[in-house]
């Protein structure tokens, strides 16, 4: 018996030697637990939020970024727009090198922008829509020429993925990711982890943290427990219940930045009964968003009274739909559906916090007014493929989605009639008034006028209800208190910035 026990221990010890590996990578590193994997090492083809946050921000720089006081120069030291608004001139920083030694210069910027313009398959290419050509004027000056005034260009250039500048040499050799940023990518094991190492030659000073170990932990409860036990220093995408649980836990704090992002139920406006605005409004009255916010999200976000989240510039609230199931039933009856109808809702539970619970709550609320909603759950990649099929092949009726951006023009991608699939307007929404407002907003340089235009957009969109508006999409992250220098870039849903972290 004793021999048997010895044998077991010996075997286990041998096995553990073989099993060793990433443990050593973790020592001394900043450990981050994330909810979903990066989608690709080619940052210009990034498909998910996490790709931008963890790869885009750390391994690459952009021309500028949002800071507490406004735009902060990064790879561009100064910039200006011509009086007619059609030419943007950027003066670039000197003495910067990519991780592979290639010098950063105007040609590099031109290469990146040209690549986005010429390769529509790249998922970030849509962000440069409106740019006609890119010219260099000496090694440190770049001119971007657009076909109309494009104030939204700023928002796209600060985008973690779309605005990232890659090394032309590396891209030509198909080596990804090579940027100018404070960290290099040491290792990516898809579905498991990402290992970043500090770039000692970073032009803005080497980072304090030598290594960042980003672990994929799809389950929220596990992420929280890792944070609580100190096995992770940062855990992202926590649930509201965890925020409550962590209250009063020494050594941990929860950060929930105000957000410009929003979650909604997309409705296929080209299919009956969703082609009827009364039906869409009825559905909005049928769902008690306040209860969802208070009970599922424990009051940690706010119910949608605008298509934008409250941190979006030009945000105006007060146009929401209060909970009114009686009115919902009336509207349905008026629209010709007194007995309700049946529809299928595509959900992607792993794509957003509490998505499964929200789906089931929706099912219950809609059921109460006679609408039978069937839930089909799937992986995000599959949902995207189904939702953004061109109209002829598109069988989707209702779907889960959330979105965000740095500039109000970002809504155009979801609601402009020119962006029907294969674009991102999965609801096949078409309102000429709104289209024209988008057009104006995109080309008006005057700040005050622009704000007014987008406020009109918000009012009009809320009235015509292309979606069931739900709530502001807020991130909730947990951070150990012994970690300093963690900030959030105030755009989109709030972008985690670990570059200046230190213990």
Partner 1 sequence: MTARAEGPGAAASAWSRSRHRRRPWWLRDTRVAVGVLIVAGIASLAAMAPYLALRQPTQIDLQQTLERPGPAHPFGTDQLGRDLLSRVVFAGRTSLVVGVVSVATSLAIGVPLGLVSGYSGGRADLLAMRFVDVLQAFPGLLLAIAVIAILGPGILNMMLAIGVSASPLFARLLRASVLEVKGEEFVDAARATGGTDLRIMLRHVLPNALAPLIAQSTLRLGSAILTSASLSFLGLGVQPPQPEWGAMVSEARQYFVSAPHLIVFPGLAIILCVLGFNLLGEALSDRIDPRLANASENR
Partner 2 sequence: MGPHDAVTALLHYAAKRLLFLAPIALGVATVVFVLLRLVPGDPAQVLAGPEATPDVIAQLRVKFGLNQPVLIQYGFFLGRLLHGDLGLSYRSGLTVTQEIGHRYLATLILAASATALAVGVGVPLGLAAGTHRDSVRDRMAMLVALVGICAPSFWIGLVLQYWIAARFNLLPMIGGGGMAHLILPSVTLGLYSLASLARITRAAVVNTAQRDYVRTARSKGLGMPFIIRRHILRNALLPILTSIGLEFGFLMTGAVVVETVFAYPGIGVLLVQSILSRDYALVQGLVLFIALSYVLVNLLTDLLYALTDPRVSYQ
Residues that bind partner 2 (CB under 8 A): 1, 4-5, 7-8, 11-13, 15-16, 18-23, 26, 40, 47, 121, 189-193, 215-219, 222, 225-226, 228-231, 378-379, 381-382, 384-386
Confirm or reject binding of residue 291 to partner 1 (CB under 8 A).
yes
Among 102, 276, 344, 377, binds partner 1 (CB under 8 A): 377
Least CB distance to partner 1 at residue 59 (A): 31
Site for partner 1 in 179-238 (CB under 8 A): 219-222, 224-225
Closest CB to partner 1 among residues 206, 364: 364
Question: Based on CB atoms, which residue is closest to partner 1, 53 or 373?
Answer: 373
Closest approach, Cβ 440 to partner 2, in A, equals 34
Does residue number 431 form part of the binding site for partner 1 (CB under 8 A)?
A: no
Minimum distance from residue 355 beta carbon to partner 2 (Å): 14
Of 136, 120, 140, whose CA–CA distance to 128 is shortest?
A: 120
Sign of the torsion angle spanned by Cα atoms 453, 459, 463, 466: positive
Question: What is the rounded distance in angstroms from the CA atom of residue 159 to the CA atom of residue 46?
Answer: 11
Residues 333-372 that bind partner 1 (CB under 8 A): 356-357, 359-361, 363-364
What's the closest the beta carbon of residue 381 comes to partner 1, in angstroms? 15
* HSE-CB of 156 using CA atoms within 13 angstroms: 22
CB of 31 to partner 2, least distance (A): 11
Structure tokens at 96: 């910067």
Q: Could you tell which of partner 2, partner 1, none binds residue 295, using a CB distance below 5 to 8 A set by kind?
A: partner 1
Q: How far is the CB of 11 from partner 2 (least distance, A)?
A: 4
Is the Cβ of residue 372 or residue 385 nearer to partner 2 in the bound state?
Answer: 385
Q: Shortest approach of partner 2 to residue 44 CB, angstroms? A: 15
Longest Cα–Cα distance in the chain: 88
Q: Is 386 exposed, middle or buried (0-12, 13-18, 19+ CB in 10 A)?
A: middle
Report if residue 417 touches partner 1, rule: CB under 8 A.
no
Which among partner 2, partner 1, none contacts residue 197 (Cβ within 5 to 8 A by kind)?
none
- Rule CB under 8 A: choose which of 25, 117, 170, 375 binds partner 1: 375
- DSSP H helices, 388-446, are 410-415, 432-443
Residue 72 token pair: 């902060």
Tell me, what DSSP letter sits at residue 42? -
Question: Is 245 a binder of partner 1 (CB under 8 A)?
Answer: yes
**Position among 209, 236, 287, 296 found at the interface with partner 1 (CB under 8 A):** 296
Number of helices (H), then strands (E), belonging to the chain: the values are 17, 20
Assess contact for 29 and 211: CB atoms under 8 A: yes
3-state secondary structure (DSSP) of residue 31: strand
Minimum distance, C-beta of residue 245 to partner 1, in the bound complex (Å): 5
Distance CA 132, CA 88 (A): 12
> For residue 344, what are the contacts with CB-CB under 8 A and spacing of at least 6?
373, 374, 375, 376, 397, 398
Strands (E), 51-182: 64-67, 70-73, 76-81, 87-92, 131-136, 141-146
> What is the C-alpha separation between 36 and 191, in angstroms, rounded?
8
Question: Would you tell me which residues interact with partner 1 (CB under 8 A)?
Answer: 219-222, 224-225, 239, 241-242, 244-245, 288, 291-292, 294-296, 356-357, 359-361, 363-364, 375-377
């Amino acid at each position: 018996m004793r021999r048997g026990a010895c044998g077991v221990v010996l075997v286990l010890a041998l096995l553990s030697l073989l099993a060793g590996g990433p443990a050593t990578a973790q020592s001394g590193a900043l450990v981050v637990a994330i909810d979903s994997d990066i989608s690709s090492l080619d940052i210009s083809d990034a498909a998910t939020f996490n790709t931008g946050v963890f790869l885009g921000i750390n391994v690459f720089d952009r021309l500028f970024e949002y800071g507490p006081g406004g735009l902060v120069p990064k790879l561009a030291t100064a910039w200006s727009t011509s009086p007619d608004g059609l030419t943007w001139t950027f003066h670039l920083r000197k003495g910067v090198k990519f991780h592979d030694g290639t010098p950063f210069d105007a040609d590099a910027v031109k290469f990146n922008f040209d690549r986005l313009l010429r390769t529509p398959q790249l998922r970030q290419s849509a962000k440069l829509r409106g740019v006609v050509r890119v010219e260099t004027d000496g090694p440190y000056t770049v001119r971007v020429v657009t076909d109309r005034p494009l104030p939204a260009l700023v928002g796209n250039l600060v985008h973690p993925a779309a605005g990232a500048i890659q090394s032309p040499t590396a891209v030509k050799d198909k080596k990804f990711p090579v940027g100018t940023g404070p960290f290099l990518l040491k290792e990516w094991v898809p579905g498991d982890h990402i290992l970043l190492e500090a770039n000692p030659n970073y032009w803005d000073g080497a980072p304090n943290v030598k290594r960042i170990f980003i672990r994929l932990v799809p389950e929220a409860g596990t992420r929280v427990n890792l944070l609580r036990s100190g096995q992770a220093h940062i855990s992202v995408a926590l649930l509201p219940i965890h925020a409550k649980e962590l209250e009063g836990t020494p050594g941990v704090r929860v950060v929930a930045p105000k957000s410009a992002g929003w979650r909604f139920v997309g409705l296929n406006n080209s299919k009956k009964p969703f082609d009827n605005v009364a039906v869409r409004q009825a559905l909005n009255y049928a769902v008690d968003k306040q209860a969802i916010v208070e009970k599922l999200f424990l009051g940690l976000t706010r119910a949608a009274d605008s298509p934008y989240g409250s941190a979006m510039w030009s945000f105006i609230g007060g146009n929401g739909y209060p909970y009114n199931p009686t009115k919902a039933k009336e509207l349905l009856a008026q629209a010709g559906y007194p007995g309700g109808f049946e529809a299928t809702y595509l959900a992607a539970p792993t794509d957003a916090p509490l998505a499964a619970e929200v789906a089931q709550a929706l099912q219950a609320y809609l059921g109460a007014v006679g609408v039978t909603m069937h839930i089909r759950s799937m992986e995000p990649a599959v949902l995207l493929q189904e939702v953004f099929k061109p109209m002829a092949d598109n069988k989707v009726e209702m779907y889960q989605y959330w979105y965000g951006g740095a500039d109000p023009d970002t809504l155009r991608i979801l609601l402009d009639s020119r962006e029907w699939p294969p674009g991102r307007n999965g609801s096949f929404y078409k309102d000429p008034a709104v289209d024209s407002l988008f057009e104006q907003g995109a080309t008006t340089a005057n700040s005050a006028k622009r704000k007014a235009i987008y406020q009109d957009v918000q009012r009009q969109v809320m009235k015509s209800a292309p979606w069931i508006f739900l709530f502001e999409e807020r991130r909730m992250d947990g951070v150990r208190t012994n970690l300093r220098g963690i900030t959030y870039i105030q755009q989109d849903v709030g972008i985690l910035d670990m570059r200046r972290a230190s213990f």
